[in-house]
Structure 1
Amino acid sequence: MYRFKSFRLISILTAIFLILSSFFRGYVAYGSIENDEIKKIIKQIFVLKSRAILEQDEELMDLIYDRSKKVGQWAFEYEVKKMKYIKNWSEKQGVTFTSITPNIEIKRIRGKDDQYSVYALCSTEYKYVYEDNKDVDNNFRIGTYHIINIKNINGVWTIIKEWYTDPFADSLNLENIKVDSIKEYILAQGSRDLSNISKRRIDAVAYADKYSGAANDISQGLVYNIKYKNMNPQGGDCANFASQILFEGGKFKKNKTWNYDRDGSRAWANAQGFKDYWVGSGRASVIAYGTYDKVFKASYKLLPGDFVAYVKKGRITHISVVTGSDSKGYALVNCHNTDRHRVPWDLGWSNKSIKFYLVRVHF
């Protein structure tokens, strides 16, 4: 699906040097580099990483990381693995990615001279087209939170260490899925008319879009609703966010089991507890359950305001809420940890080791 562009090593080195070296020439003699210059360097590194993923260019990715130590080698290997996953997913889906655009908001910079540590939020917009309908663009955004260490090595700023919670981390192997029949089915679908959904569903989606965190449009602010505790440090905010969507947007009433009062009950804040409550209470019902190849056809029944529960090793580990569909009617979701905004519902999850509950919420 991608046209692999092979660059000669010297050409890539020259290009990166010209792009990045302009930001640090002359600064070593004067001590630390100004923060504005570091911001430019970080943003350009993210642009190059996105380009490497889009073009499936492992050589370019190699030059972004310092692989002389294990932490740099591990970070590089993970990016290559993710790159291959995205290629496999696009083949399964019958799509071509046309652009990957990172938008960076830098929160903190520490360091001096030739080495810096940066904490940044990145809202990355992915655009894709279906191979039989290349005139219609589809897009989604993924938000990530990065701690990234960079160093000037032989005149080029490179990543020596990187940590971030990645949306693809739970499923980086699609080689065990028979993509041909799945692709054929997906390409045979058309767009869905969702204009007749109820106002409560519409309001639920509006809330999900407003508070999609680092996945939001950067001009809208990369924030959660401050009325609620951010539960990512406690293991994840996905169920908490889904509960907010159904309470604040969908106008479902709290009760003794599903409740938030300075903290969330198990049914409110725990992924397994959330699914068990909604299905067990009758407020929702299961449309389908099973591995991706067993449920992907049923996913076209999902409506905005419904939700998907993701099962890993027998336990529900994640919840996302449906917020729309793309040009082929494929369901899109929003969620926290990691932050997603109108993302295809299986992206990052669709190998055979993971199962799904597709759940209809009864508004």
Structure 2
Amino acid sequence: MKNSLKKRLYQVAIIILFIFLIFPFYRAKCEEADSKEEAVNSIQNIFENRNKAILNGDLKLIEGNYDKNTRYGTWAYEHEEKKMKYLKNWEEKQNVKFIQISPDIMIKRIRGKDNKYSVNLICSTEYSYIYENDPKLINKFRIGTSHILNIAKRSEGWIITKEWYKDPFADSLNLNNLKVDNVNQYIQSQNKRDFSNIGDRRKGAVEYADKYCGIASEKEYGYSYNRKYRNYNSQGGDCANFASQILHEGSKFRKTSSWNYDKTGATASWINAGGFKDYMIYSGRASLIAHGSYEKVYKASYKLLPGDFVAYEKKGDITHISVVTGADSKGYSLVSCHNTDRNRVPWDLGWSDKNIKFWLVHVNY
């Protein structure tokens, strides 16, 4: 009887110990988990507000999402303001209207406490737009971005105190230097193009690009690159590497001693944007359609076919390569690329600086 009583008293003591020592720790953990979940939900709301601001042209929708009392919070807000103005200018040049912008966010890591968190995430954003004179046909493209941001809870709610991401529109200043009326009148006069009769090798290029354009690809592909190849983003960029993969894996172009990739590395013409452009043209595997400023080449861009490519020149250097993967409802060429990941994006979007020149290149299949 005594032993039974002692056992019960021991059990009660354990319960009391749990209540006074362990339960507060457990409760704190639960509260921290709730706080993280709240922060994640707030990030989703902030990204959606950004897109609403673009669609409505209303900066007030995002002002409260940033800590404008700090330098980094102000910079993050000003960057979104600049992006919104650029997209508005591009809409006017193209005579289109964005009708929906949908973000798909994946949190890769979240760390912190006391309602202050550092977050790594990726965002695959689908943009939908229509041409003003043909609103029934909806065009879509996707852009993928990687973000590092700090978020904190204040009395007014969760706000961003710092953010960094490689913005696909960062190379764009404005479109005021263009004769917009002439450009959009020409674009509006064009018709949808039919690519159903292109060869299998060109189709293979498009299929490969769709599958492996990283964060800009469809969710079913895992937002990842082809793991057979190295990712060169940390070494200056992966755009030429991806273009080379598209032509080799998708279009079955054979490697050569000059244009090659293996386990030991890659040749310059495989991974360098300028080297890729020069090799393709001088080897005879491609030929130049047009070269120059946007106003000089935009009419020639309608000659581009899926599997061709565009090279982007800044201050005399080729800094980027995109591969043509389709055309929109007005026949305007669309491209896909790495860093920043783009999937079937209008070929000049994000490259509207007046000092940028374009190389439109036809690949000889």
TM-score, normalising length from structure 1? Answer: 0.91
Q: Unpaired segments of 5 or more residues in structure 1?
A: 1-25
Report the CA distance between 1:63 and its aligned residue. Answer: 1.2
Report the CA distance between 1:258 and its aligned residue. Answer: 0.2
- Residues in 1 aligned to 2:177 and 2:29: alpha-carbon distance in whole angstroms: 51
Matched, 1:97 2:98: yes
Which residue of 307, 322, 325 corresponds with 1:323?
A: 325
- Residues in 2 aligned to 1:35 and 1:151: alpha-carbon distance in whole angstroms: 11
Residue 342 (structure 1) aligns with: 344
Deviations 1:85-132 (A, max 9, x none): 000000000100001110001110111121111111100000000000
- Residues in 1 aligned to 2:37 and 2:30: alpha-carbon distance in whole angstroms: 18
Residue 56 (structure 2) aligns with: 55
Q: Is the 8 A contact 2:141 2:344 kept in 1?
A: yes
Q: Is the 8 A contact 2:171 2:352 kept in 1?
A: no
Deviations 1:41-74 (A, max 9, x none): 2212111111112211111221111111111111
- Residues in 2 aligned to 1:305 and 1:31: alpha-carbon distance in whole angstroms: 50
Deviations 1:245-295 (A, max 9, x none): 000001000011000012221000000100010011110010000000100
- Residues in 2 aligned to 1:226 and 1:36: alpha-carbon distance in whole angstroms: 32
Q: Is the 8 A contact 1:324 1:331 kept in 2?
A: yes
- Residues in 2 aligned to 1:68 and 1:196: alpha-carbon distance in whole angstroms: 57
- Residues in 2 aligned to 1:29 and 1:243: alpha-carbon distance in whole angstroms: 49
Residue 281 (structure 2) aligns with: 279
Deviations 1:173-224 (A, max 9, x none): 1111111100000000000011110000000110000001001122331000
Q: Is the 8 A contact 2:201 2:251 kept in 1?
A: yes
Q: Is the 8 A contact 1:95 1:129 kept in 2?
A: yes
Q: How do 1:139-288 residues align onto structure 2 when only pairs under 5 Å count?
A: 139-262=140-263, 263-288=265-290
Matched, 1:110 2:107: no
Aligned partner letter, 1:94: N
Q: Which has the higher helix share?
A: 2
Provide the secondary structure at the position in 1 that maps to 2:137. Answer: strand
TM-score, normalising length from structure 2? Answer: 0.90
Q: Is the 8 A contact 1:146 1:164 kept in 2?
A: yes
Deviations 1:316-357 (A, max 9, x none): 000000000000000000000000001000000023110000
- Residues in 2 aligned to 1:221 and 1:213: alpha-carbon distance in whole angstroms: 8
Aligned partner letter, 1:116: Y
Q: Is the 8 A contact 1:238 1:336 kept in 2?
A: yes
- Residues in 1 aligned to 2:224 and 2:124: alpha-carbon distance in whole angstroms: 12
Number of equivalences: 338
Quote the RMSD (CA, aligned, Å): 1.5
Q: Matched residues, percent identical?
A: 60
Residue 128 (structure 1) aligns with: 129
Which residue of 297, 300, 304 corresponds with 2:299?
A: 297
Q: Is the 8 A contact 2:190 2:330 kept in 1?
A: yes
Aligned partner letter, 1:306: D
Q: Is the 8 A contact 2:35 2:115 kept in 1?
A: no
Report the CA distance between 1:27 and its aligned residue. Answer: 8.6
Aligned partner letter, 2:65: I
Q: 1:197 to 1:27 in 2, by over 3 A?
A: farther
Provide the secondary structure at the position in 2 that maps to 1:251. Answer: coil
Q: Unpaired segments of 5 or more residues in structure 2?
A: 1-26
Provide the secondary structure at the position in 2 that maps to 1:99. Answer: strand
Residue 4 (structure 1) aligns with: none
